[in-house]
Structures are given as structure tokens and as C-alpha cells.
Structure 1
Amino acid sequence: MLILAAKAAVTIVLFYLILQVLDDDALIEALRDVDLGLALLGVLAMWLNVALSAYRWQVFLGFFRLETSLTTCARIYAEAVAVNLVLPGSVGGDVYRVYKLGHARGRYWEVLSSVLADRFCSLLVLLVVSAGALSLHLQAAGGPLLFVLCLLAATAAGFVFVYSFPVSRRWMDFKAYRYLVRLVHVVKRLFRGPQRIFSALGLSVAVQASVFASMYFCLAAVERDLAQVDLAILSTALATLAAMLPVTLAGFGLREGAVVATLSLLGVPIEQAAAVAAVFAVCTLGQCLPGALAWASSTLERSNEAPVRSR
């Protein structure tokens, strides 16, 4: 409870700091003009993200020889998204998935491997797509491409590290080395063969595209002229990375701050950027609705079964 209270306090402070740099009247005016229909499309895009993510997780579980029905994956994944509201950053749901399915099947390592693979592919596609969007934006603005080249070089270096990593029994006594060996094993298992590579990357692109679409609808809901693909990709990328830091409730505050900072740096008026962040926050909350309903229904089922078992 103390940890949750601390995270809630940090979240409130971050929102307070964001509001301090805004013109209240301009922000209210921007929020009044929000197109609710487009905002609803943003929520639906986030629901699509949950469905695609659950399907990708099922595919990744199969890579690690753990066959699971799509219904089970969808239910657990949706619940994990809802649980993220109270667990650290945006990775608390990953812990929930490992516990929930690992406890049910008794194969924690395979489930953990699938979740790590899931997270790795998401970050990989996010970095590559963001680098492409940033490259196009910098070219249009006449800016330097050094940062983009460094980002792509770092991604390539990561793969070189994985496939040249030395595995030695003599070093297994070191805990950090054992963790690295496991992560290398997960990546190699994930990209074993062209079929797996295309499945993993293709599904990851589809998953990220649904989040980009949600941000695109949020931008359009605030101002039609803001509906630009590069703005949607870059603001979503930084917001996703910021939300992973486990210092606020479900990444709120950090996510909105990243959206405001990114859009402002890209030339969007700060009040409109804050309005986009607010609409995207609503979409993020809407994403949790299917999982919350699944959690409530499973709780009711357990409560109804208890009297029957007692009799």
C-alpha cells in the first residue's frame, strides 16, 4: 500500500507540473473541440491492440512448446492490461501473465520466455519504426540524421551481440551471466528460421500499428491538421518507453509528459499537445475495460462456485 501511495503521489506531482506550464483557458478550449467520434476510434484501436497482442502471445508460446488456446491468452492478456493500472510502470502486466499462466500450467520458464520474446519484439519494432519516422521528419526539417543512424547501429549491434555471445559453463556461477545466457536463448529461439522471423516481426508490426492508429485518431480528434503519421509514431514511441519506468501508476504522468514534450518539440502548440495527451490517456484507460470486465466475471464465477463446493 505504501508503494502504491508513493506511485500515486508521483503521478499527481507529474500531472501538476504539466498543468503549471499550460494556459488553462487554451487547454479547456482545446478539450471542448475534441471530436468524440474520433476519440472513440482511438479506444477501438486500443481494443484491437489487445486482441492482436493476445494472438501474438499465443504464437510466441507455441515457439516455446507451450500450446494454449487463444481464448485463454486473450483473457489473461486483457486482465494483465487492466492490472497494469496498479502495478509498476507498463511491465506489471508482464509479471501477471507469467504468474497466471505459469501457475496454471506449471511451466514458468516457458511462459517467462514467451513474455520476454513478446517484449523484445515490441521494443525492436518500436525502435526501427521510430527511427524511420524520425528520419523522414528530420529530412523534411533539414535536420541531422546522426541520431537515427546511431539508433539503427545500436539495434544491429544488439543482434551481433546475441549471435556472437559466448556460452561457457565456467561462467555459470555468475548470476548476471546466467541471465544473459537465458535472454540470448530466448532471442535465438524466437528467430529460429524464416517462418518464425516473419511471424514474430509481422505480428509485432501489426500490434504497434494499432497503437499508432490510436494516437493518430487522438491527434485528429484534437485538430485535423495534426493527424500526421510521423507525429503519431514518434509521440507514441517516446510515450511507450517513458511509461515503462516503474515510478507512477500504470505509467500515467510519464506517458502524458512524454507526449506533450514530443509534440511540442515537433512544433505543436503546447495546449493542443496536452489535449492530445489527455485524449490518449482516455484511450489507454479504455484499453483496460475488456480486462476489467473479464476480471469481474471470473471473480463472480469463483464466488458463485464457493457455496456449491461448501455444500
Structure 2
Amino acid sequence: MNKLKKKDIAKWLLKFVLSATALFFVFRIVDPDAIFDAIFSADPFYLLLAFLAFNLSKVLSAFRLNHYYSAIGVKISKKYNLLLYYIGMFYNLFLPGSVGGDAYKVYLLRQQGLGGTKKLLMATLMDRLSGLALLVLLTFGLVLFSSRLLEMPYIGPLSLSGLFFILPLFWIVNRRFFPELFTVILPTLHLSFWVQLGQLLCAFFILAAIGVEGGYLDYLILFMVSSVVAVLPFTLGGVGARELVFLYGYQYLLIEERLAIAFTFLFFSTLAVSSLAGLALSLLPLPESGPSPVIADE
């Protein structure tokens, strides 16, 4: 076993331990039976709507990534790109590291001579940053509608500042460090907005499924914050990280512990079930992607 493989296994084990530790801590505070009662009594109709909203957001994410591919001269069909995206989504969930699926997509495209590693990684990074920028922007926007949070010191000015500066900052970073991708900044930011809206709709339907009767804004704010935290490469698919955010967040917002934790489990389940399509597709031979110029590494 080579050193790289041992390192990957060590990373996966570390993330597994961190996820398990976080969940253990959550279940020490919140009654597991109450959580699972909420999960198993969830309305299947709303769960189906959540599943559809989640996957619609992922389809839009795939279209956004294809804009970045086009900007670096990688021309692949929308169908092929969507297949790659779901395969990558599956690997992102289970492979060691936080971008295992992204690296696998880069590897497949590179093997087919469809682009250089450096430019493909650049497109992948900007795709993630575009999504993160709109995620943070919408989080600040939701906070400004929460009277409870605005009572806390500095939250209002911080959120207002973030609302005004996050997009100019993203614009500057894109222009300064990724000029080749600047040509698609407007369509990708537009798609990022709808991607995050789809995620919010997914969260809303899950909340409706488990019978949340009020305080939707508080749940959605914590969901957005937990999504930012889940991006960090410390846990498996964000498992444990989201639960801890909700566990601590309930002290400041009007949410119910057991429903909050049940929500995080159902959201992860939606992600995991959707990712199974990537597993199935990874076992099949991929279709031809179509002609594209080979881009040499610089």
C-alpha cells in the first residue's frame, strides 16, 4: 500500500471519527427516540417535494459548472456534464477528502483529453466559490429579517456589511485571480442564486414534512449557516457538523431541538439518496462526450 493511499485512508478515518463524535455529543443531549419519531412520522408527500427541489438545484449546479468548462474551452454536452456531476456528487459524499468527486471528474476529463488539470481545477474551484458567495449572501439577507438575531450585538451591522460586500469581493477575486473565467461571472452568479433557492425550498419542504408549525425563518437561517460549515472538510458529507450547528443554534433562535436534529438527518438522507444515482451511473460506461480541443497545462 503506497503512502498516498494510506494518507487517504487516514483522512477518511479521521473524518469518520469526527462525525461519530459529533453525533454522539448530539445524542447525549437530545433524546434519540424523539428524533427518530419525528423522522418516521414525516409526511412522504413533502419529502418527495424536498427531493425534487434538491435535485433541481443540483441540475442547475451542473449547468453552472458547464459554463466554467466552456470558458476554458472544454466543450461537453449537457447530458454528459450532468452524468459527471452526479457521479462526482456520489464520490464527494464517500471518498476521503472534501473534493473527492470533483477530483474524480477532473481525472475523467483529463483522461479523455478534454482539458488540462490546472484549468479544470480552476473551473471547479470557481464553481464552488460562486455557490459559496450566494450561500453567504442569502444567509446575511435572511438574518436581516430575524428580529431575534438583530437584538444581538453586531449581528445587524455585520450582516448588512456582508450583504453589500460579498458580491464585490467575489467580483474582485474572479477578475484578479481567474480572469479567464470572468466572462461567465454573470450567468454563473444567476444560476447560483437559483441553486441556493432550490436548497432553501428543499429545507422548507422537509420542515413541513416533520410538522414544524412556526419559526421557519430561524430554521432556514441555521440551515444556511450549517451549509457553510458543512463545506469544511472535517466530516463525512457534513454529518455531525450540521447537527452541532442546530444544537447550539436553538439556544438563540425559536426552534425545537428534536425537530432541528430530525431535519438535519432528513436533509442528509435526501442528499445520500440523490447521490445513489451517481453510484449507478459510475457502474455504467459513460457515453461519448463529443469533440473538444485538448488544453495543455500551463
TM-score normalised by L of structure 1: 0.79
Question: Are 2:159 and 1:148 aligned?
Answer: yes
Question: Are 2:51 and 1:43 aligned?
Answer: yes
Aligned to 1:54: 62
Q: Is the 8 A contact 1:89 1:244 kept in 2?
A: no
Give the counterpart of 2:109 among 96, 101, 105.
101
CA shift, 1:259, in A, is 3.7
* Distance (whole Å) between structure 1 residues aligned to residue 70 and residue 181 of structure 2: 10
Count of matched residue pairs = 275
Aligned to 2:195: 207
> Aligned with 1:271: secondary structure?
helix
Question: Are 2:55 and 1:67 aligned?
Answer: no
Aligned to 2:239: 252
* Distance (whole Å) between structure 2 residues aligned to residue 289 and residue 10 of structure 1: 24
Change in Cα spacing, 1:222 to 1:161, as seen in structure 2 (3 Å) is same
Task: Report matched runs for 1:139-218 at 5 Å.
Answer: 142-143=151-152, 144-152=155-163, 155=166, 158-159=169-170, 162=173, 184-186=176-178, 188-192=179-183, 196-218=184-206
CA shift, 1:157, in A, is 6.5
Q: Which amino acid aligns with 1:83?
A: Y
Aligned to 2:27: 19
Change in Cα spacing, 1:269 to 1:236, as seen in structure 2 (3 Å) is closer
> Aligned with 1:14: secondary structure?
helix
Change in Cα spacing, 1:111 to 1:222, as seen in structure 2 (3 Å) is same
* Distance (whole Å) between structure 2 residues aligned to residue 77 and residue 243 of structure 1: 19
Aligned to 2:141: 132
Q: What is the RMSD of the two structures over their aligned residues, measured on CA atoms?
A: 2.6
Q: Is the 8 A contact 1:7 1:248 kept in 2?
A: yes
Larger RCO (CA within 8 A; separation ≥ 6): 2
Could you tell me which runs of 5 or more consecutive residues in structure 1 were left unpaired when the two chains were aligned.
164-182, 300-311
* Distance (whole Å) between structure 2 residues aligned to residue 47 and residue 76 of structure 1: 14
Higher radius of gyration, 1 or 2: 1
Question: Are 2:207 and 1:219 aligned?
Answer: yes
Q: Which amino acid aligns with 2:270?
A: C
Could you tell me which runs of 5 or more consecutive residues in structure 2 were left unpaired when the two chains were aligned.
1-8, 287-298
Q: Which amino acid aligns with 2:156?
A: L
CA shift, 1:235, in A, is 2.6
* Distance (whole Å) between structure 1 residues aligned to residue 66 and residue 215 of structure 2: 33
Aligned to 2:257: 270
Change in Cα spacing, 1:59 to 1:232, as seen in structure 2 (3 Å) is farther
> Aligned with 2:204: secondary structure?
helix
Aligned to 1:166: none
Give the counterpart of 2:280 among 290, 293, 299.
293
Return the structure number with greater helix share. 1
* Distance (whole Å) between structure 2 residues aligned to residue 231 and residue 296 of structure 1: 41
Q: Which amino acid aligns with 1:146?
A: P
CA shift, 1:15, in A, is 0.8
Change in Cα spacing, 1:83 to 1:291, as seen in structure 2 (3 Å) is same
CA shift, 1:145, in A, is 0.6
CA shift, 1:20, in A, is 0.6
Change in Cα spacing, 1:159 to 1:298, as seen in structure 2 (3 Å) is closer
Q: Is the 8 A contact 1:84 1:250 kept in 2?
A: yes
> Aligned with 2:278: secondary structure?
helix
> Aligned with 1:191: secondary structure?
helix
Change in Cα spacing, 1:39 to 1:246, as seen in structure 2 (3 Å) is same
* Distance (whole Å) between structure 2 residues aligned to residue 201 and residue 160 of structure 1: 10
Q: Is the 8 A contact 2:60 2:195 kept in 1?
A: yes
* Distance (whole Å) between structure 2 residues aligned to residue 205 and residue 157 of structure 1: 15
Aligned to 1:84: 92
Change in Cα spacing, 1:263 to 1:217, as seen in structure 2 (3 Å) is farther
Residue by residue over 1:254-304, the C-alpha shift from the partner in whole angstroms, topping out at 9 and shown as x without a partner, is 1232244335532111111111111112111122121111012239xxxxx
Q: Is the 8 A contact 1:256 1:281 kept in 2?
A: no
Change in Cα spacing, 1:65 to 1:106, as seen in structure 2 (3 Å) is closer
TM-score normalised by L of structure 2: 0.82
* Distance (whole Å) between structure 1 residues aligned to residue 275 and residue 234 of structure 2: 20
> Aligned with 1:288: secondary structure?
helix
